[in-house]
């Protein structure tokens, strides 16, 4: 979630193929642990000597299960969008990735001291008993109102039966900032530590323990609210410290994909974050005298809120960044679990990167955020259940517990996707519980004040009464022992990642001097993993274009002018780019490939330039007389199809030329077919 104070964004006003990434993809061998590296020496806690057990050198590796993760196919069209040939390769690569993650023998994690939650296979255990939980994110750190409401907030959470809370132990501001910033920050400038914020964190842990709550502490934020990666990037020299963000409070802009990739490789940024990490993880509670590393109130350290990457360079750098800082946490704290804080995925490519990150040996459990109502493919409860199943399926293949670190349902409306909001949330939580999800934390318990779309305002009489009643029932159900629900075989169809849109169905025929300009938004049919039309309205930057995320294709229908046999050649020009990483942030490694088909006949593949928010002209030309006659003979209505690889397609302009055709101009206004509006509506697959 982008900020305790506001609604989930992820640049929500702009298109982005990730993830939810979207949140993306090769492949160090690594396995779950619970988890300390096998080479760590015996250690002792601050409360007495505790011996640790480790894997023995030369231990036999665990047998790797046969894994095939399948997506529904059944694509239509003459070329099946080129995917019937490519999908098996995609599946094979992903299966190979999972097998590589499972190929090494897992280190046997240290036996955590009594009272600490640890990992056993795909579940959490506490003192030998299964520990599954429903929990809540809580706004108790940033600002006087939230800090003053600490006790009341945790009282409400405990009263609703939650077992775990998630808290942001972060906040970075400019050096010498206004006095009010001290209530929102742990740090004002690289050396400006705010001890009052650390002491408030001490109080949070004490208050949680008094109520029997475990705590996940989040150490940094991918987004710029409360500083985040953007502030570290400014301290490291990557970002102008005076850059303007979304508000007038001195907030920096969120990092764009190329900047995010650079941040993960930035040594000064790394050291700035590592200093915060050492301060928090290495802290001793000033109220209790207990070192954080020795406090069983803590369940886990989370490296970053909604970390992700959206470019080839960024993906590789992200994996290394997570491994590096997870090892730094483990060196300071041998007892507690560590998670990456990944936002999750929406596309096949994002799924592969997620598997790499959460599959790292240094990471103890898989995590993801869940706002499935925001996915246009999730249109029913059946889609919702399949959405959950798919994520459980991948985590199971990795052999790790799965935690949904944020589960959001809009509370500013009574219904979600045509269902009562509590019923929608119940379907999600019940499916997760039956699938064996280890934990889920709803977003967010917060003292009343500025309205927030997702917040449960516990101190506002009657607010979200239906949702809170459901959460109390579900919290009891999550505590009960439960057999793991067997999922269908791993090669059975799961959540269908395709989105089909039918456009206007317009037959384009407005030729002028042998040239037909096709409005890109007036497509006939488009099928990608996600697809839409971006319109620069309401001051949004950029140019109008059709965008399709992941592998897919878009069709246009046109009518040839009279006398096409006289044409000297056929020329098709498209101004286009890849869709990944979105937001115009592509780098040299983000180029793709696009194939043009004319009525089912391939005119060849061309490189698709990296996403830059503008596109570049790509050209196809046919001037061989015999081939030209074949392409133009017969009926006048033709179909033009552009197929894209996994990096998707952003299409800004499309033009067909027939120089020499006998009719210079054909007047027409486009013949409307059976469409559902200019932008199209999802159809077929959810």
Read off the pLDDT of each residue in 106-112 and give the average, rounded to a whole number.
47
Q: What is the pLDDT of residue 502?
A: 85
Using the predicted structure, report yes or no on whether residue 565 has a pLDDT greater than 80. yes
Query: 36 falls in which pLDDT band (50, 70, 90)?
Result: very low
pLDDT digits (tens, 9 = 90+) for 255-291: 998 899 999 999 999 999 999 999 999 999 999 999 9
3-state secondary structure of 437: coil
Task: Locate the DSSP E strands across 356-498.
Answer: 366-370, 402-407, 415-416, 419-420, 439-445
| Over residues 398-403, mean pLDDT | 96
User: What are 495-550's pLDDT values in tens digits?
Assistant: 777 888 888 778 999 999 899 999 999 999 999 999 999 998 867 888 999 999 99
Lowest mean pLDDT among 46-60, 280-294, 378-392, 447-461: 46-60
Calculate mean pLDDT across residues 571-592: 85
- Is the pLDDT assigned to residue 669 strictly greater than 50? no
Question: Nearest CA to 514 among 662, 659, 653?
Answer: 659
As a whole number, mean pLDDT of residues 68-77 equals: 37
Cβ neighbors of 397 (< 8 A, separation 6 or more) are 65, 67, 69, 98, 102, 355, 490
The per-residue pLDDT for 245 is 58
Domains 95-479 and 499-683 share a fold: no
Name which of 380-384, 421-425, 537-541, 543-547 the model is least confident about.
537-541
pLDDT score of 49: 33
Question: Is the pLDDT assigned to residue 553 strictly greater than 50?
Answer: yes
Give the sign of the dihedral formed by CA 337, CA 343, CA 346, CA 348.
Answer: negative
What is the band of 323 on the pLDDT scale with cuts at 50, 70, 90? very high
Residue 603 has pLDDT above 60, yes or no: yes
Q: Give residue 194's pLDDT band: very low, low, confident or very high (50, 70, 90).
A: very high
Least confident of 192-206, 234-248, 636-650: 234-248
Mean pLDDT over 346-351 rounds to 91
Q: Pick from 208-217, 375-384, 588-597 the range whose average pLDDT is largest.
A: 208-217
Q: For residue range 349-377, list pLDDT tens digits in order.
A: 999 999 999 999 999 999 999 999 999 99
Neighbouring residues of 22: CB distance < 8 A, sequence distance ≥ 6: 16, 308, 310, 343, 344, 345, 346, 347, 350, 549
pLDDT given at position 663: 54
Q: Which CATH number fits domain 95-479: 3.40.50.300, 3.20.20.80, 3.90.780.10, 3.30.70.260?
A: 3.20.20.80
pLDDT exceeds 80 at position 490: no
Number of Cα atoms under 13 Å in the Cβ half of residue 487: 27
Contact 531, 549 (CB under 8 A): yes
Q: Alpha-carbon distance 351 to 366, whole Å?
A: 12
Mean of all residue pLDDT scores within the chain = 82
Where exactly are the structural domains of the chain? Answer: 95-479, 499-683
- Predicted confidence at residue 244, as pLDDT, reads 66
140/587 Cα distance (integer angstroms): 39
pLDDT for position 56: 29
Does 605 score more than 90 pLDDT? yes
Identify the residue whose tokens are 């806690």: 45
Model-level pTM? 0.81
State the pLDDT at residue 432. 96
For the chain, give the percent of residues with pLDDT over 70.
77
Q: Which of 54-58, 165-169, 484-488 has the highest mean pLDDT?
A: 165-169
Mean pLDDT of 556-563: 92
Confidence of residue 246 (pLDDT cuts 50, 70, 90): low
Q: Which residues contact 618 (CB under 8 A, 6 or more apart)?
A: 573, 574, 575, 576, 594, 606, 607, 608, 609
pLDDT(340) > 90: yes
Question: What 8-state DSSP symbol labels residue 74?
Answer: -
Which pLDDT value is given to residue 497?
A: 76
Contacts of 483 (CB under 8 A, 6+ apart): none
Give the other-Cβ count within 10 Å of 150's Cβ: 20
Q: Looking at domain 499-683, what is its CATH homologous superfamily?
A: Galactose-binding domain-like (2.60.120.260)
Mean pLDDT of 210-231: 97
In this predicted structure, the answer to whether residue 348 has a pLDDT above a threshold of 80 is yes
Rounded to an integer, what distance in angstroms lies between the CA atom of residue 233 and that of residue 241? 9
- pLDDT value of position 265: 97
């Amino acid at each position: 979630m982008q900020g305790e104070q506001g609604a989930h964004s992820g640049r929500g006003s702009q298109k982005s193929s990730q993830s939810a990434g979207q949140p993306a993809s090769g492949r160090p061998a690594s396995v779950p642990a619970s988890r300390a590296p096998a080479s760590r020496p015996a250690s002792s806690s601050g409360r007495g000597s505790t011996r640790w057990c480790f894997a023995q050198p030369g231990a036999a590796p665990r047998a790797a299960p046969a894994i095939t993760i399948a997506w529904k196919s059944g694509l239509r069209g003459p070329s099946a969008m080129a995917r019937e040939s490519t999908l098996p390769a995609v599946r094979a690569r992903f299966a190979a990735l999972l097998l590589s993650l499972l190929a090494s023998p897992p280190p046997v994690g240290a036996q955590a001291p009594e009272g600490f939650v640890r990992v056993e296979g795909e579940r959490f255990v506490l003192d030998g008993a299964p520990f599954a939980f429903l929990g809540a994110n809580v706004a108790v750190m940033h600002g006087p109102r939230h800090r003053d409401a600490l006790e009341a907030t945790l009282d409400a959470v405990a009263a609703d039966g939650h077992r775990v809370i998630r808290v942001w132990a972060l906040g970075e501001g400019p050096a010498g900032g206004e006095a009010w910033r001290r209530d929102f920050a742990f740090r004002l400038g690289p050396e400006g530590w705010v001890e009052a914020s650390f002491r408030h964190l001490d109080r949070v842990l004490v208050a949680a323990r008094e109520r029997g709550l475990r705590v996940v502490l989040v150490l940094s934020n991918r987004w710029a609210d409360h500083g985040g990666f953007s502030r570290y990037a400014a301290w490291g020299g990557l970002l102008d410290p005076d850059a303007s963000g979304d508000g007038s409070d001195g907030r920096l802009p969120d990092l764009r994909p190329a900047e995010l990739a650079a941040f993960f490789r930035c040594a000064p940024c790394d050291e700035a974050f590592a200093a915060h990490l050492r301060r928090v993880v290495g802290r001793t509670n000033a109220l209790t005298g207990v070192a954080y590393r020795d406090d069983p109130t803590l369940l886990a350290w989370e490296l970053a809120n909604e970390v992700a990457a959206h470019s080839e360079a960024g993906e590789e750098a992200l994996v290394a960044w997570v491994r590096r800082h997870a090892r730094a946490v483990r060196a300071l704290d041998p007892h507690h679990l560590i998670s990456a804080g990944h936002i999750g995925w929406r596309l096949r490519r994002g799924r592969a990167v997620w598997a790499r990150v959460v599959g790292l040996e240094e990471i103890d459990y898989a995590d993801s955020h869940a706002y499935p109502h925001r996915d246009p493919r999730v249109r029913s409860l059946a889609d919702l259940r399949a959405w959950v199943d798919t994520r459980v399926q991948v985590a199971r293949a990795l052999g790790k517990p799965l935690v949904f670190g944020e589960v959001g349902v809009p509370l500013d409306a009574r219904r979600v996707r045509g269902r009562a909001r509590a019923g929608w949330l119940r379907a999600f939580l019940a499916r997760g519980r039956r699938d064996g999800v280890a934990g889920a934390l709803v977003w967010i318990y917060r003292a009343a004040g500025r309205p927030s779309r997702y917040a449960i305002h516990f101190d506002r009489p009657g607010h979200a009464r239906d949702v809170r009643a459901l959460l109390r029932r579900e919290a009891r159900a999550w505590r009960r022992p439960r057999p793991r629900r067997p999922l269908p075989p791993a090669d059975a169809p799961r959540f269908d990642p395709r989105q089909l849109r039918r456009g206007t169905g317009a037959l384009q025929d407005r030729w002028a001097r042998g040239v037909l300009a096709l409005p890109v938004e007036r497509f006939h049919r488009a099928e990608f993993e996600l697809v839409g039309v971006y319109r620069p309205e309401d001051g949004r930057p950029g140019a109008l274009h059709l965008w399709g995320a992941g592998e897919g294709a878009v069709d246009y229908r046109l009518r040839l002018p009279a006398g096409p046999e006289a044409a000297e050649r056929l020329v098709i020009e498209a101004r286009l780019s890849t869709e990944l990483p979105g937001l115009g942030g592509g780098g040299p490694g983000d180029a793709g490939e696009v194939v043009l088909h004319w009525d089912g006949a391939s005119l060849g593949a061309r490189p698709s330039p990296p996403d830059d928010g503008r596109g570049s002209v790509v050209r196809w030309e046919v001037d061989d007389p015999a081939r030209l006659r074949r392409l133009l003979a017969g009926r006048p209505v033709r179909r033009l199809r552009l197929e894209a690889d996994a990096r998707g397609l952003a299409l800004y302009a499309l033009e067909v030329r027939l120089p020499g055709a006998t009719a210079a101009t054909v007047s027409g206004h486009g013949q409307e077919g059976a469409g559902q509006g200019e932008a199209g509506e999802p159809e077929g697959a959810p």
